A and B are shown apart, each in its own frame.
Chain A
């Protein structure tokens, strides 16, 4: 897929065509929730005039804007304090970027959000091409850690082109409600009952990529109950799961990947499944034979494609 002589890659075969966000009026916004630093009364347009809460800044963002969030201070025993709030992104706020600052390769040790409660999500987005980086999302009693909405032909909620990079989702599933060309890269998922949901019964997921992600067991040694990658009864078309780690085989709904809509298709490449002998008929549930396991390993070695 190299389309540029100097090794720049771009999905879909087109040459590198420029940055994601080219709106010349894009504004940088800043949030610092540490005591005595940010204040929602500030304008949020400079680090020394940062807002204190994420949603206060998000509500001011326009197309193509960028938000930098400073981690709250580290507390021994509990880790970095969390932003305990929910941020809502509206349809018109497309192409915004929400970036955790204070660089940390480990997304357990940077910006963290927590949002609990029925129908409350750390990020509740109805906009396309939202980009989220370097942020931990936690919800222990909510339905999802983040909800990227899409209501299909109604066209009041679109999640096409959403990208998540170095995001940690813990305590509830992360829900991408179908849509086109979503990218989930270098993320970590940790939840007993479903970790990443890619579509629902009404909105098909198309051309979705899940790469370099880590799907954890519960408490490091107990299998989760529901599929790691999940869209039961829904269509996820041309899904690519690449170079991901999958923990123990889920117990209640015993599939690593369950996407069983009538049109479902895709492949997994270069993944590891922590299972003695992966049987793609019974451990990966995709309707028909439209999902291929290519160059993946289980505990006994290379997964035989003929298992499918």
Chain B
């Protein structure tokens, strides 16, 4: 019998920063404003549409570039 330890899955807390942010807000509070979160989700959606990338972590320095 094999035991699968799900806690060791690397991206358990979130495959993207927005997913991690939502989980973080349930625990300690987030790391960005609601406006930055909206921009972040929009960037992630655009990246997924254009490149198919579904796992990433975007810094707020780039989030603030979205006008």
Is this pair of chains taken from one and the same complex?
yes
Report which A residues bind B (CB closer than 8 A).
Answer: 4, 6-10, 15-22, 24-28, 32, 45-48, 64, 66, 68, 70, 97, 99-103, 105, 131, 133-134, 163, 165-166, 183, 185-186
Contact of A183 among B17, B32, B50, B61 (CB under 8 A): B61
CB distance from A51 to the nearest CB of B (A): 14
| Contact status B29-A10, CB under 8 Å | no
Alpha-carbon distance A103/B16, docked complex (angstroms):
18
A–B Cβ pairs within 8 angstroms, 16 of them: A8-B46, A17-B51, A20-B58, A20-B59, A22-B55, A24-B11, A28-B13, A32-B28, A47-B28, A102-B29, A102-B30, A103-B31, A105-B33, A163-B59, A165-B60, A183-B61
Cβ contacts B17-40/A at 8 Å (1 or 0 each): 100100010011111110000000
Contact of B27 among A26, A27, A47, A165 (CB under 8 A): A47
Q: Assuming the A-B contacts A17-B51, A18-B53, are A7 and B11 also in contact, with contact meaning beta carbons closer than 8 angstroms in the complex?
A: no
Alpha-carbon distance A134/B36, docked complex (angstroms):
14
Alpha-carbon distance A17/B47, docked complex (angstroms):
7
Q: Is the interface of A mostly helix, strand, loop or mixed?
A: loop
Chain B: CB-nearest residue to A166 = B60
| Contact status B28-A102, CB under 8 Å | yes
Q: Assuming the A-B contacts A24-B55, A97-B59, are A8 and B28 also in contact, with contact meaning beta carbons closer than 8 angstroms in the complex?
A: no
Contact of B65 among A8, A19, A27, A46 (CB under 8 A): A8
Q: A19-B58, A45-B12 are in contact. List 7 more A-B contacts (CB 8 A).
A: A7-B66, A7-B67, A18-B51, A68-B31, A131-B59, A163-B59, A165-B60
